[in-house]
Amino acid sequence: MIAHVVAVARDAGHHFSKALVPAIEIVAGLGVAGDAHSGETVKHRSRVRVDPTQPNLRQVHLIHAELFDEVGAKGFSVQPGDLGENITTRGVDLLGLPRGAVLRIGETVRLQVTGLRNPCAQIESFQRGLLAAVLEKRSDGTLIRKSGIMTIALASGAVRAGDGIAVDLPAPPFLPLERV
């Protein structure tokens, strides 16, 4: 299967879910034009309270549609944009990417992977039990966060459903994703 964009979404307000749109405009150094999380410094309210001057490593949020298939098999109904992602993908192992990997989307967009999204308690208000479905523990107790990855925008352009996705890996050694 060729990696591609399934859907795109944005929201000017700080809401849990984002509205699907035909296209989003990525702005280098900022993120998604018109989205509440766009900017050079942090925009997530919990992070702003801690230090509003810290760099925004969460400019563009991506989730793999395969997660929706997985939680759907457990009885949940989750669609693109529902979990607040800007880009829903299919055919790329987002969670398996190393820090610093670059996603090439469409003709010009370049997004650099910064880390994992840490699902918050709001997910329980969306659908009771869903938080546990997107978090797992390995046998050694390590937490597995499945709710997507966060990126920064390196190169601008439009992103639409159907756009292809390619991955450029950084030079080894590969650094595992951590929550950002």
> What CATH number corresponds to the domain at position 88?
2.40.33.20
- Cα separation, 38 vs 143, whole angstroms: 28
Res 1: pLDDT: 65
Residue 157 lies in a domain: yes
Note whether 109 and 157 are within 8 A (CB). yes
Q: Is 50 exposed, middle or buried (0-12, 13-18, 19+ CB in 10 A)?
A: exposed
- Mention every residue, 6+ apart, whose C-beta is less than 8 A from residue 73: none
Residue 127 lies in a domain: yes
What is the pTM for the complete model shown?
A: 0.96
Which of the two residues, 10 and 44, has the higher pLDDT score?
A: 10
User: And the tokens for 107?
Assistant: 């003709």
Residue range of the domain that includes 154: 4-168
- Report how many domains make up the chain: 1
Binned at pLDDT 50, 70 and 90, residue 85 comes out as: very high
